[in-house]
């Protein structure tokens, strides 16, 4: 299998090799080589292939191993999203997006379009993985996301009906959760025209909670016991409840300090952020090196929310209770032990 992968997907194999090598010098050299290949094949040769797409998604997930302090994550993710479109994975098979707008005659001067790829489960996985990373990057890093479209639902349904490995069900669950996360991000960034619409934030929270609960109810017990899926669920739950911390003018949910509903949401926010951090810290130490960047975002977001809640200056918010609920000292000890391991 490794030999076959190396032969059929040479760039993907190179990216995996660059990430997995334990030599810092070799990792830097292989990382440079991946960037050189991308520059030549994408820009000079204008090549688009499944191999390059899978390699890009690998770099998006684990490129931190040779991070040079530059915004490579956003560059790789943008390139992957663009390639999804260039390869036609984001459209129904047989659909020609240029047919209706082409100004050329179908005879003699027909545009030469790259042949559409007939979608496979490999392409569906790539599409869903790109959507998941886009959605959470949008939610947690204010990154423009790949929006949910019917073709994504179609890819998800096809993969669900024809799974080829256990990881397919995990990816499908991630995509379902990512859809809710994307909706939550839209609610947080929305700017209602009516300044008197004081109930809108609470309505958003209620609807988003219901959406996430529905998604959760569709999962098997095996998925609900999967720590990866639990981390995704808790982080999205924290994102939704975090709407209570968003300040938007004098009539916002943030400033309605007498609203008991907001206080309940803040309590739920603390619990979900706490669950995110605790689940993250419950993994075995040898698992952390292989975690992708989304998990780092989850942990960072969870700790940021906890910090905001621990110092929240609000007459109805009990800081003492919050500090009792969050054992910061234990979390610090666990993290230190991981870095020493």
DSSP state of 258: T
Which residue is associated with the tokens 């981390």? 231
pLDDT at 99 > cutoff 50: no
SS3 of residue 288 by DSSP? helix
Average pLDDT over residues 87-97: 65
> Is the pTM here over 0.85, yes or no?
no
User: What is the band of 40 on the pLDDT scale with cuts at 50, 70, 90?
Assistant: very high
Helices 50-62 and 72-86 cross at an angle (nearest 10°) of 150
Please give the residue that has the higher pLDDT: either 238 or 262.
238
**Mean confidence (pLDDT) of the chain:** 81
User: What is the band of 220 on the pLDDT scale with cuts at 50, 70, 90?
Assistant: very high
Average pLDDT over residues 131-152: 80
Q: Are 178 and 135 in contact (CB under 8 A)?
A: yes
User: What is the band of 330 on the pLDDT scale with cuts at 50, 70, 90?
Assistant: low
What pLDDT, in 10s, does the model give residues 146-159?
778 888 888 899 99
> Which segment of 5-14, 114-123, 261-270 scores lowest on mean pLDDT?
114-123
Average pLDDT over residues 199-220: 87
Average pLDDT over residues 83-107: 62
Q: What is the pLDDT of residue 326?
A: 83
Average pLDDT over residues 279-308: 89
Please give the residue that has the higher pLDDT: either 271 or 248.
271
User: What is the band of 34 on the pLDDT scale with cuts at 50, 70, 90?
Assistant: very high
Residue length, the chain?
341
* Separation between Cα atoms, residue 36 and residue 12, nearest integer Å: 14
Q: Is 57 exposed, middle or buried (0-12, 13-18, 19+ CB in 10 A)?
A: buried
pLDDT at 278 > cutoff 80: yes
Which residue is associated with the tokens 């997930």? 61
Q: Is 63 exposed, middle or buried (0-12, 13-18, 19+ CB in 10 A)?
A: buried
pLDDT at 98 > cutoff 70: no
Helices 166-189 and 200-217 cross at an angle (nearest 10°) of 180
Tally the C-alpha atoms within 13 A of residue 206's C-alpha that lie toward its C-beta: 7
Q: Are 110 and 138 in contact (CB under 8 A)?
A: no
What pLDDT, in 10s, does the model give residues 156-209?
999 999 889 989 999 999 999 999 998 888 777 665 554 444 445 677 888 999
User: What is the band of 12 on the pLDDT scale with cuts at 50, 70, 90?
Assistant: very high
pLDDT at 77 > cutoff 60: yes
Most confident of 126-135, 187-196, 241-250: 126-135
* Separation between Cα atoms, residue 208 and residue 230, nearest integer Å: 17
Q: Which two tokens stand for residue 200?
A: 């809108």
Which residue is associated with the tokens 């906890």? 306
Q: Are 263 and 330 in contact (CB under 8 A)?
A: no
Element at 29 (helix H, strand E): helix 24-38
pLDDT at 117 > cutoff 70: no
Q: What is the pLDDT of residue 145?
A: 65
User: What is the band of 260 on the pLDDT scale with cuts at 50, 70, 90?
Assistant: confident
Please give the residue that has the higher pLDDT: either 322 or 257.
322
* Separation between Cα atoms, residue 66 and residue 34, nearest integer Å: 11
Q: Are 59 and 73 in contact (CB under 8 A)?
A: no
* Separation between Cα atoms, residue 50 and residue 9, nearest integer Å: 8
């Amino acid at each position: 299998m490794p030999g076959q992968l190396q032969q059929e997907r040479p760039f993907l194999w190179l990216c995996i090799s660059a990430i997995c090598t334990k030599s810092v010098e070799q990792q830097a050299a292989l990382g440079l080589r991946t960037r050189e290949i991308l520059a030549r094949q994408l820009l000079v040769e204008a090549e688009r292939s499944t191999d390059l797409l899978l390699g890009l998604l690998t770099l998006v997930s684990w490129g931190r191993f040779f991070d040079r302090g530059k915004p490579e994550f956003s560059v790789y993710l943008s390139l992957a999203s663009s390639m999804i479109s260039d390869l036609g994975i984001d459209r129904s098979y047989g659909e020609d997006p240029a047919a209706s707008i082409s100004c050329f005659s179908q005879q003699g001067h027909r545009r030469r379009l790259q042949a559409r790829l007939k979608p496979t489960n490999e392409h569906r996985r790539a599409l869903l993985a790109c959507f998941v990373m886009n959605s959470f990057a949008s939610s947690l890093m204010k990154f423009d996301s790949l929006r949910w479209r019917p073709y994504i639902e179609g890819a998800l349904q096809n993969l669900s009906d024809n799974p080829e490995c256990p990881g397919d069900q995990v990816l499908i669950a991630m995509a379902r959760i990512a859809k809710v996360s994307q909706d939550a991000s839209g609610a947080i960034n929305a700017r209602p025209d009516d300044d008197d619409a004081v109930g809108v934030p609470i309505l958003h929270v209620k609807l988003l909670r219901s959406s996430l609960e529905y998604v959760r109810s569709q999962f098997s017990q095996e998925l609900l016991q999967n720590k990866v899926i639990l981390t995704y669920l808790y982080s999205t739950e924290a994102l939704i409840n975090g709407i209570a911390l968003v300040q938007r003018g004098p009539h916002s949910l943030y400033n309605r300090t007498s609203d008991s509903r907001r206080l309940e949401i803040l309590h739920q926010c603390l619990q979900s952020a706490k669950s995110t951090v605790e689940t993250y810290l419950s993994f075995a130490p040898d698992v952390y090196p292989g975690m992708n960047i989304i998990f780092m975002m989850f942990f960072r977001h969870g700790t940021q929310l906890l910090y905001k809640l621990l110092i929240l200056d609000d007459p109805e918010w009990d800081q003492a209770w919050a500090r009792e609920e969050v054992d910061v000292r234990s979390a610090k000890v666990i993290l230190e032990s991981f870095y020493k391991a």
